Structure 1
Amino acid sequence: MGFFSFLGRVLFASIFILSAWQMYNDFGVDGGPAAKELDPKLVVVNRFLASKLGEGSANLDVKHVVAASLVLKGAGGLIFVFGSPFGAYLLMFYLLYITPVLFDFYNYKFGEPQFFTLLQDFLQNVALFGALLYFLGMKGSISRRKLKKKAPKSKAA
């Protein structure tokens, strides 16, 4: 059972690790293709933050967001492979902040083709988030079960 658990974590984390590796190779001076895709969506987020927090508030730079994504995906995936809950938390944080920004299906009308593509990717990330929640729940229940087991009593001679 231990080998299959490890294999499952490797296969699950490979999504994040390989994506981070490709992001790293394409990063360059301007942040690469990820920055080009994220830039218009980050403008909307910056506008929203400015309307809620004021004009001088947080101004998110696209290169910093891409670099943070790269670190969270890479480090979280590698740590997750070894069964650490911290790696799962890093991946969950990445999914939590990038999913609604990157896959903004709610900005499109129902019949548009972009709506369905973005909705599918959004739901896929929600499913990945759910799998990480499941991992953390199982990790917690296994450690609680081990604590509840009583030590075997030694037999008197």
Structure 2
Amino acid sequence: MAFLSFLGRLLFVSVFILSAYQEFNEFGTDGGPAAKTLRPKFNAFTKHITAQTGFQVPHVEMKHLALGFIVMKGLGSLLFVFGSSLGAYILLLHQAIVTPILYDFYNYEADKKEFAQLFIKFSQGLQLLGGLLFFIGMKNSMPRRTAKKKASKAKMN
């Protein structure tokens, strides 16, 4: 059973590991294609947040943001594979930040082709969030192992 659990976690994070590996290899001096793709999406997201809440999002370098996402995916995946809740929390934070930024279906009309494609990707991001929440919930509901103390034997004279 332990091997199946490990294999399941490994397959689950394979999406994150492969993505982080590809983005790391393409990073370059400007953040690579990940930063270039992220820039217009992040700008649209910040404009949307500012318009809806009035909160001004501070300026962020895209290559730093892309590097942060690579680190979060890599570290979170490594910890998660070995059953750490911290890894699940890191991946959960990554997904909670990235999903609404990259898959901005809310910026398109419902009858547009882009809306359907982005909404499907957004839903897949929510599925990953759900899987991580399920793991955290199961991990927290399991009783902790305690070291068994040997019963002391009474000495007989």
TM-score (norm 2): 0.86
Give 2:96's aligned amino acid: L
Give 1:79's aligned amino acid: L
After superposition, the C-alpha distances for 1:86-122 in whole angstroms (9 at most, x for unaligned) are 0000000000001001000011111111111100000
* SS state at 2:58 partner: coil
The whole-number CA distance in structure 1 between the counterparts of 2:45 and 2:119 is: 19
Q: Give the corresponding residue for 1:68.
A: 68
Matched, 1:82 2:89: no
Q: 1:49–1:58: 8 Å Cα contact kept in structure 2?
A: no
> Where do residues 13-32 of structure 1 align in structure 2 (5 Å cutoff)?
13-32=13-32
Q: 1:35–1:63: 8 Å Cα contact kept in structure 2?
A: yes
Q: 1:42–1:60: 8 Å Cα contact kept in structure 2?
A: no
Q: Give the corresponding residue for 1:95.
A: 95
The whole-number CA distance in structure 1 between the counterparts of 2:151 and 2:121 is: 54
Equivalences, count: 151
Q: Give the corresponding residue for 1:106.
A: 106
Give 1:116's aligned amino acid: A
Q: Give the corresponding residue for 1:34.
A: 34
Two-structure CA RMSD over aligned residues (Å) = 2.3
1:47 deviates by 3.4
Give 1:42's aligned amino acid: F
After superposition, the C-alpha distances for 1:42-93 in whole angstroms (9 at most, x for unaligned) are 1123435666245xx6112211111111000011001100000000000000
Instruction: Say which structure is richer in helix.
Output: 1
After superposition, the C-alpha distances for 1:107-156 in whole angstroms (9 at most, x for unaligned) are 11111111111000000010000000000111111135x57xx98989xx
Give percent identity, aligned residues only.
46
Greater shift in the superposed pair: 62-71 or 36-45: 36-45
Distance 1:25 1:122, change over 3 A: same
1:36 deviates by 1.3
Q: Which runs of 4+ in 1 moved over 6 A?
A: 150-154
> Where do residues 134-149 of structure 1 align in structure 2 (5 Å cutoff)?
134-143=134-143, 146=145
